[in-house]
Structure 1
Amino acid sequence: MQDTIEAQGIERLIRRNEAASFTNEYNCKLRRLFPWTDAVNTKRQITEFGVIWVVVDPSTAVDRHSHDEEETFIVVGGEAELTVGDEKTIIRHGDVIYLPRFSEHQLRNLSPSIPFAMIDIYWDWAGKSDATLR
């Protein structure tokens, strides 16, 4: 492993914050961390995963949506109202949320001044949710 790092240079293993770019998707800011083109292959034979840094601006609601992957949110700043199906709750710093495949969900940042931030980890297991494999 050390030979590989030296051959490629340690900077190849780091994404510097100064070069960060966010896209606007689902009415929030997303910085896709994984997949990481030319550095890390996140597609595996039976699973695929990705990681996104998500920022929801103050007084903003994310579009209500669902995915064919499972998701976990790790809240790193602020607080927001989370709706899953017909249920609502407040999530805040340090909370970890699991969403099964096809869970219809929405986030609302109710703060007028503080952004809401989280890390979103998503994965697929050959098209099946962990919840359906029990």
Structure 2
Amino acid sequence: MSSWFFSYGTSADPSHVATEIGPVAESIPATIPDHRLTFANYRAEWGGGTSCIVPAPGLDVIGVMHKVSDDQVALLSNADPTYALVDKTARTAAGTVDVKVLLPITIGEFAAPADSYVGKVRSGLSAYYPIDRIDAHLKQALQRDALFDSMVAQWVNESAPQREYNTLFRRLLPWRGMVRTPWGGAWATIDPGDASELYKHDEEEIAIVVAGEGELRVDSNTRPIRKGDVVYFEPYCEHVVTNTSSEALEVLFFWWGGRDGTMWAGRPI
């Protein structure tokens, strides 16, 4: 037997659900009519209020339905004693569906959530809805015109580049925990005398040299590069960047498309 579990918060993302109850069989967008999203019940581990839904005639809550097994329903029921599974009716493109929704047993006054929490909700929903619809939905729930309270940034002193493609690779996009994007981005640093991994892929890509000098080979074409140069790589071309100077060579890469289309950005990073 299976049931539909409706998520309106951080668990809209199937990968997040999987960390709690295991992989789900199917996930589709859905709404619950005559309800609205809000934030309440401050929780220290989340740094602020957490999402919940309350009755509101004429409004809709956007979310995602996950098909779950009876064992997974049991896990949801016992995950947190302050929450309970409630039966609701959701609306999909195919019609109405009975769903189970996890709600706080007691819903307190509005409590502003942390920016990081809002970002997780936004990121999960962005796999299924246009970002402008998500932001309008969240702003209504937050009771304010701005989505975030503080400056959203990736500070260089807090970044954690990894060794990838024979470079020090700092992934920028999609912005983890904030929003999925239809493109990827990274800041690569190549040490003097080193070269990036010879690589080809099905995405389109551009490279922007932001510091240093070196040499770029695209298929059989080779030429020097320096700060300010911008180069386009068509799908499946071979490309390798070599640092021929005594200083670090820094290159911004942005890529998009490929066989997975715009949804490639849902890949874990």
Taking structure 1 as reference, are residues 66 and 90 closer, same or farther at Cα in structure 2, changes over 3 Å only? same
CA distance in 2, matches of 1:126, 1:68: 7
**Match of residue 196 from structure 2:** 62
More relative contact order in 1 or in 2 (CA 8 Å, sep 6+)? Answer: 1
SS at 2:257's partner residue? Answer: strand
Structure number with higher helix proportion: 2
- 1:86 deviates by 1.3
SS at 2:145's partner residue? Answer: helix
- 1:71 deviates by 0.6
CA distance in 2, matches of 1:85, 1:15: 34
TM alignment of 1:1-134, pairs within 5 A: 3-5=145-147, 8-11=148-151, 13-42=152-181, 48-111=182-245, 113-124=246-257
Q: How many residues align?
A: 119
Query: Which is higher, the Rg of structure 1 or of structure 2?
Result: 2
TM-score with structure 1 length normalisation? 0.81
- 1:107 deviates by 0.8
CA distance in 2, matches of 1:84, 1:4: 44
* Unpaired segments ≥5 residues, structure 1: 43-47, 129-134
CA distance in 1, matches of 2:157, 2:237: 34
TM-score with structure 2 length normalisation? 0.42
Following TM superposition, the consecutive aligned residue runs of length 4 or more in structure 1 with deviations greater than 2 angstroms are: 1-5, 125-128
How large is the RMSD of aligned CA atoms in angstroms? 1.8
- 1:3 deviates by 2.5
CA distance in 2, matches of 1:14, 1:63: 29
- 1:14 deviates by 1.1
Is the 8 Å Cα contact of residues 183 and 255 (structure 2) preserved in structure 1?
A: yes
CA distance in 1, matches of 2:203, 2:258: 8
SS at 2:195's partner residue? Answer: coil
Q: Percent identity?
A: 34
Is the 8 Å Cα contact of residues 202 and 259 (structure 2) preserved in structure 1?
A: no
